[in-house]
């Protein structure tokens, strides 16, 4: 691995949990999944079509100009792949041009639909459009960002007249609806851009305050917390999924939309964190949700509270997904939610609240048990009253 490695094969320990989450289904990007299946080969014709459309946008630039530019970037681009790429120089440059022009052209047509054709199967076919969007955020399916940026800059800034008043970064932010994202560092690839969208801005002081592994790496599940009096609430501002807060007995969680892409997106972000060796913000977030969701009962409760929107339909499926999401995942020592864990556990461990939770769990977990407990309590009270009255009557006779 070179120091600039940023595109990895997913480690076997992660892949074995759900291999399907890391494999492209419509379009292969880069060398790692090149010609892996007939399904992916079918997209190669679309890539050629998009390449020709891209070249026509600036006829004064020839295909040879693009080849020469990318030959100059080849060594740096190869260094971005942690795996050894056993392709010839011509094969590698061909992939960079074909796949890179496909992505740039795809983003251009999304930004301004009038730049496309009257009938473009990638945009008029909902399956292809959504599957391409999914495939472009897979860890193994990436091109270096500077390759995409260079292709766009060459066509846009070749003469004194720009074709468009936008950068490739602007195109990418528009495509993923990240337009209010403040970029601190140029992304290394599109998945890294998605990671920057999710991670919070932390100062050194924040890290010193929160960067301790908590004494307990778990918190009670959502049902246990609710029974102990913790209020579960969707965060009023859910711009950042990771901004989970606990204040004054209320746990605020940005709304979690669970659909067919949720697991795939989380797994690829986590895999990138694991391989890159950076802070495990996404893994830490997934660990919190895993703690809160132990069973379908927790999912149902979080749905009622507006925290989870379940588009999978089956609460058990959601529960199983979150229970497996951090399996075989290593956490960094700089655990992002350590302060949150301490606050939640201190609140929950209060003896009165634990007694209240146990009482609620043991005696009030169903309407019938509540009725039975109430009836038993009334019976005990009546028995006591009867005993007192009997004692008074006996005393009066004496």
176 and 219, same domain (yes or no): no
pLDDT of 123 over the 70 cut: yes
- Mean pLDDT, rounded, for 271-289: 93
What is d(CA 278, CA 141) in angstroms, rounded to the nearest whole number?
20
The number of residues in the chain equals 398
Confidence of residue 199 (pLDDT cuts 50, 70, 90): confident
Nearest to 174 by CA among 118, 109, 267: 109
User: Bigger pLDDT: 154 or 375?
Assistant: 154
- How many C-alpha atoms does 335 have within 13 Å on its Cβ side? 19
130 and 240, same domain (yes or no): no
**Cβ atoms of 353 and 227 closer than 8 Å:** no
Q: Is residue 364 part of a domain?
A: no
What burial letters (b/e) apply to 337-368, b meaning 16+ CB within 10 Å? bbbbbbbbeebbeeeebeeebeebeeeeeeee
Q: Is residue 4 part of a domain?
A: no
Q: Is residue 34 part of a domain?
A: yes
Confidence of residue 356 (pLDDT cuts 50, 70, 90): low
The pLDDT value recorded for residue 278 is 74
Among 28-37, 81-90, 130-139, 238-247, whose mean pLDDT is lowest? 238-247
Q: Is residue 361 part of a domain?
A: no
The pLDDT value recorded for residue 361 is 56
What is d(CA 347, CA 64) in angstroms, rounded to the nearest whole number?
66
Nearest to 136 by CA among 5, 43, 241, 240: 43
Among 76-85, 105-114, 314-323, 342-351, whose mean pLDDT is lowest? 342-351
pLDDT of 398 over the 80 cut: no
What is d(CA 172, CA 193) in angstroms, rounded to the nearest whole number?
9
pLDDT of 211 over the 90 cut: no
32 and 174, same domain (yes or no): yes
pLDDT of 63 over the 80 cut: yes
The pLDDT value recorded for residue 236 is 84
112 and 252, same domain (yes or no): no
pLDDT of 214 over the 90 cut: no
What is d(CA 169, CA 293) in angstroms, rounded to the nearest whole number?
37
308 and 386, same domain (yes or no): no
The pLDDT value recorded for residue 375 is 61
348 and 390, same domain (yes or no): no
Q: Is residue 3 part of a domain?
A: no
pLDDT of 396 over the 70 cut: no
pLDDT of 337 over the 50 cut: yes
Residue labelled with tokens 């061909």 = 94
Mind spelling out the 3-state secondary structure of 172-233?
A: HHHHCCCCCCCCCCCCCCHHHHHHHHHCCCCCHHHHHHHCCCCCCCCCCCHHHHHHCCCEEE
Confidence of residue 216 (pLDDT cuts 50, 70, 90): low
Domain end residue (candidates: 185, 218, 241) = 185
209 and 300, same domain (yes or no): yes
Q: Is residue 6 part of a domain?
A: no
271 and 217, same domain (yes or no): yes
- Mean pLDDT, rounded, for 20-42: 90
Q: Is residue 195 part of a domain?
A: no
DSSP state of 332: P
What is d(CA 167, CA 325) in angstroms, rounded to the nearest whole number?
35
Residues 6+ apart with CB under 8 A from 337: 210, 244, 284, 285, 287, 288
**Cβ atoms of 51 and 67 closer than 8 Å:** no
Q: Is residue 67 part of a domain?
A: yes
The pLDDT value recorded for residue 180 is 73
pTM over 0.85: yes
Indicate the average pLDDT of the chain: 87
Pairing of strands 308-310, 250-253: unpaired
Neighbours of 65 (CB within 10 A): 15
Q: What is the pLDDT of residues 232-272, one digit of tens each?
A: 999 987 667 899 999 999 999 999 999 999 999 999 999 99
Nearest to 329 by CA among 292, 286, 376: 286
Confidence of residue 207 (pLDDT cuts 50, 70, 90): very low
Residues 6+ apart with CB under 8 A from 195: 269, 272, 273, 281, 282
User: Bigger pLDDT: 392 or 233?
Assistant: 233
Q: Most confidently modeled of 42-46, 145-149, 274-278, 350-354?
A: 145-149
Q: How many domains are contained in the chain? A: 3
- Beta bridge partners, 234, equal 253
148 and 284, same domain (yes or no): no
pLDDT of 16 over the 70 cut: yes
236 and 102, same domain (yes or no): no
333 and 210, same domain (yes or no): yes
Domain that holds residue 156: 12-185
The pLDDT value recorded for residue 333 is 80
Domain end residue (candidates: 154, 185, 216) = 185
134 and 220, same domain (yes or no): no
The pLDDT value recorded for residue 217 is 77
User: Bigger pLDDT: 376 or 328?
Assistant: 328
What is d(CA 374, CA 364) in angstroms, rounded to the nearest whole number?
10
The pLDDT value recorded for residue 205 is 39
- How many C-alpha atoms does 301 have within 13 Å on its Cβ side? 19
């Amino acid at each position: 691995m070179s120091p600039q490695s940023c595109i990895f094969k997913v480690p076997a320990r992660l892949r074995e949990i759900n291999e399907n989450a890391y494999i492209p289904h419509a379009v292969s990007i880069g060398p790692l999944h090149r010609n892996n299946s007939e399904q992916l080969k079918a997209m190669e014709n679309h890539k050629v079509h998009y390449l020709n459309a891209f070249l026509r946008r600036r006829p004064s630039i020839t295909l040879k100009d693009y080849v020469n530019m990318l030959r100059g970037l080849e060594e740096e681009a190869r260094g971005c792949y942690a795996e050894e790429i056993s392709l010839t120089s011509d094969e590698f440059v061909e992939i960079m041009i074909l796949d890179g022009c496909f992505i740039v052209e795809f983003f251009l047509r999304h930004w301004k639909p009038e730049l496309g054709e009257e009938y473009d199967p990638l945009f008029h076919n909902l399956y292809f459009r959504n599957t391409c969007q999914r495939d472009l955020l897979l860890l193994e399916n990436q091109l270096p960002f500077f390759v995409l940026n260079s292709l766009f800059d060459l066509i846009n800034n070749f003469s004194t007249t720009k074709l468009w008043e936008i950068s490739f970064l602007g195109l990418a932010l528009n495509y993923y609806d990240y337009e209010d994202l403040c970029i601190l560092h140029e992304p290394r690839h599109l998945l890294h851009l998605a990671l920057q969208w999710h991670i919070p801005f932390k100062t050194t002081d924040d890290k010193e305050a929160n960067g301790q592994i908590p004494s307990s790496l778990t918190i009670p599940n959502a049902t246990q917390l609710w029974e102990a009096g913790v209020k579960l609430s969707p965060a009023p501002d859910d711009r950042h999924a990771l901004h989970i807060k606990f204040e004054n007995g209320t746990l605020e969680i940005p709304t979690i939309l669970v659909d067919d892409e949720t697991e795939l997106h989380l797994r690829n972000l986590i895999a990138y964190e694991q391989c890159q060796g950076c802070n495990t913000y996404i893994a830490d977030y997934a660990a919190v949700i895993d703690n809160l969701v132990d069973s379908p009962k927790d999912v149902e409760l979080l749905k009622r509270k507006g925290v989870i929107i379940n588009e999978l339909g089956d609460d058990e499926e959601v529960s199983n997904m979150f229970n497996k999401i951090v399996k075989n995942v290593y956490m960094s020592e700089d655990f992002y939610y350590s302060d949150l864990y301490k606050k939640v556990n201190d609140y929950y461990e209060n003896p009165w609240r634990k007694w209240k939770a146990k009482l609620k769990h043991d005696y009030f977990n169903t309407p019938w048990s509540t009725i039975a407990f109430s009836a038993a309590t009334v019976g005990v009270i009546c028995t006591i009253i009867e005993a007192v009255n009997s004692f008074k009557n006996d005393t009066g006779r004496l």
